[in-house]
Structure 1
Amino acid sequence: MDQELFNPQSSSVSSSRIIYTPSTFARTSLLHLQEVGSLQAVHPHISQRSDLVSFLCFIVLSGEGELSYEGQTYQLGEGDCVFIDCRKAYSHSTSDNLWSLQWCHFYAPSVPDLLNPK
């Protein structure tokens, strides 16, 4: 089902996205945007990811769902905002009260050190 979520015309979601490819300098030195988009669930679904060199921030615009991350499950609703390290496994799913999200993926070589100071 994950592959279906990359198709903006899938039966589970209606989505739009903008993918940005930064320069080599930006990728290796700066905080840079990778992708932004919005999603409106059409049917209940689960999205699972892991091992992505990215950080994800999303906000629930309407509806409800659930996030599973680092052994915890969080109930999410309108106005909730999430920030996660996509190098770690996570999944999110909409409830029967289908959600609408706006999200962005970004990365910077310095962010992992900020999250896990030595």
Structure 2
Amino acid sequence: VHAVAKWAVERARANLGPTLVEYVTYRVGAHSTSDDPSAYRPKAESDAWPLGDPVMRLKNHLIQKGVWSEDRHTQAEAEILETAIAAQKEAEGHGTLHAGGKPSTRDMFEGVYAEMPPHLRRQRQQAGV
């Protein structure tokens, strides 16, 4: 991924035209904890990915190389979870649809762009705000 992205950036900086980079991914796990992939994914499909989760493969590789450890990984996961929970709480502080919170029409246009594009200015005017 890094190599092809670097190559695409170099092409762009050299004015060699646009570059399309296609990333093909595969969601190994379920959509959520309440999801059962066996209901829609045949067992043979997961067997086609014998090397497993690429994140875990990278973790194990870095541990083997001596540049990462289980302790650092556990700490990083805890920090990431803490950051995600804090971001969720901050977002929920602005209101949730479940709690009946609903942004005003004005709020949908404000604070999104440093400079609002013309098409959104027109839409805002059409909405009467």
TM over 0.5: no
TM-score (norm 2): 0.19
Higher-helix-fraction structure: 2
Structure number with bigger Rg: 2
Higher-strand-fraction structure: 1
TM-score (norm 1): 0.20
